[in-house]
């Protein structure tokens, strides 16, 4: 019986030896290679970008249009952004506050023109 307990305890503690390091610098899996979606970095690029293209914009919110929609302005122009209230997460933003928005391009595409081009914002941070 004593040998059985020693074997069980040894087995339990040896399981952690198979764990792998998952910190910074390790590949977490997924596809690595060329992408058809190019990242949008300026407000003027949103109208021509593909649906769901990743988007990182730096600029200012200049106007609230309704509950979730705002006018965002950077050095290239303006675009409508959709920011749900939970994305603000207790961050107060004024037209003078420079922010970084991370999200993806939205809007329906009819023929060659995008109807209602906007950015669906998933993350917002104040730029110092």
CATH architecture of 43-126: Beta Barrel (2.40)
Q: pLDDT, tens digit, for every residue of 26-70?
A: 666 777 777 777 889 999 999 888 888 999 999 999 999 999 999
Residues 75-128: pLDDT tens digits? 999 999 999 999 998 899 999 999 999 999 987 665 565 577 899 999 999 998
pTM higher than 0.85 = no
Distance CA 62, CA 73 (A): 7
Domains of the chain, by residue range, sit at 43-126
């Amino acid at each position: 019986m004593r040998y059985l307990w020693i074997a069980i305890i040894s087995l339990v503690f040896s399981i952690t030896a198979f764990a792998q390091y998952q910190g910074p610098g390790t590949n977490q899996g997924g596809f690595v290679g060329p992408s058809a979606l190019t990242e949008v970095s300026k407000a003027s690029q949103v109208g021509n970008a593909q649906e769901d293209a990743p988007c990182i914009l730096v600029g200012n919110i200049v106007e609230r249009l309704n509950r979730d929609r705002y006018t965002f302005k950077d050095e290239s122009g303006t675009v409508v952004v959709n920011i749900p209230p939970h994305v603000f997460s207790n961050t107060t933003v004024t037209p003078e506050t420079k922010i970084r928005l991370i999200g993806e391009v939205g809007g329906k595409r009819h023929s060659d023109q995008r109807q209602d081009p906007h950015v669906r914002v998933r993350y917002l941070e104040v730029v110092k």
